[in-house]
Amino acid sequence: MSTIAVTDASFETDVLNADKPVLVDFWADWCGPCKMIGPALEEISEELAEKVTIAKMDIMANTDIPGQIGVKSIPLMVLFKDGKPVAQKLGAAPKSALKGWLEGEL
């Protein structure tokens, strides 16, 4: 399964009420490091599809949820389990590092 786009309106349904963990990548189109990790997150979403959903939220188009969570720098990845944030990773990293971190948190 590829990544899904979430919005302020769909966040509760797609993330908080999800039946498995959801990694939300907070990003923006102008963010170079965000664009660098995009392809890696797509690949990881396919490889770990049974264990986690990877979602992307554009902070420029959706300001409510990032504001509530306190997103100050991007890319910021926040892992939600049972509707609660349980881990986060700030900044770009190679695919192997991102996948290793995520697998360690699941």
61 pLDDT band (50/70/90 cuts)?
very high
Residue 51 lies in a domain: yes
**Is 19 inside a domain boundary?**
yes
Choose, from 31, 52, 78, 79, the residue flagged as catalytic: 31
- Give the CATH number of the domain where residue 66 resides: 3.40.30.10
Q: Is the peptide bond before 75 cis (omega within 30 degrees of 0)?
A: yes
**42 has catalytic annotation:** no
101 located within any domain: no
Domain count, the chain: 1
- 45 domain-assigned: yes
Residues 36 and 45: their CA atoms lie apart, in Å, by 15
76 found inside a domain: yes
Residues 6+ apart with CB under 8 A from 32: none
Please state the pTM of the whole predicted model: 0.96
Give 85's strand partners.
Answer: 80
- 50 domain residue, yes or no: yes
pLDDT digit string, tens, across residues 13-51:
999 999 999 999 999 999 999 999 999 999 999 999 999
Q: Would you call 2 a catalytic residue per the annotation? A: no
Residue 20's domain comprises: 4-95
